Amino acid sequence: MRGDIFNAPIIFAQDVKHSDIENRIAAFGVTNSARKLTVVFTVREQLIRIISAQDMNRREREFYKNHEKDPKL
């Protein structure tokens, strides 16, 4: 079984559009196999709950490209 993990840089952003009930965070990164993924998750007590993981769409790829060189943007 192949395991993909994010390599640096990883960009984190609040998912305010979908965060009415719980604090959701989106992580944008590139895997060992060069896939550009968006992973949305929440933290409950000491557990991380993955809400979704998918290939970045066009807008997310542009966001990542603009922020990977300067994550403070």
Each of the 73 residues of the chain gets a pLDDT tens digit; together they read: 355 568 878 899 988 776 678 889 999 999 988 899 999 999 999 999 999 999 999 999 999 999 877 655 5
Task: Kindly state whether residue 1 falls inside one of the protein's structural domains.
Answer: no
Structural domains in the chain (count):
1
Task: Kindly state whether residue 22 falls inside one of the protein's structural domains.
Answer: yes
Please give the residue range of the domain that contains residue 20: 6-68
CA–CA distance, 67 with 51 (Å, rounded to integer): 23
Task: Kindly state whether residue 19 falls inside one of the protein's structural domains.
Answer: yes
Task: Kindly state whether residue 59 falls inside one of the protein's structural domains.
Answer: yes
Task: Kindly state whether residue 12 falls inside one of the protein's structural domains.
Answer: yes
Report pLDDT for 71: 56
Report pLDDT for 1: 38
12 backbone φψ class: left, alpha, beta (φ>0; ψ -120 to 50):
beta
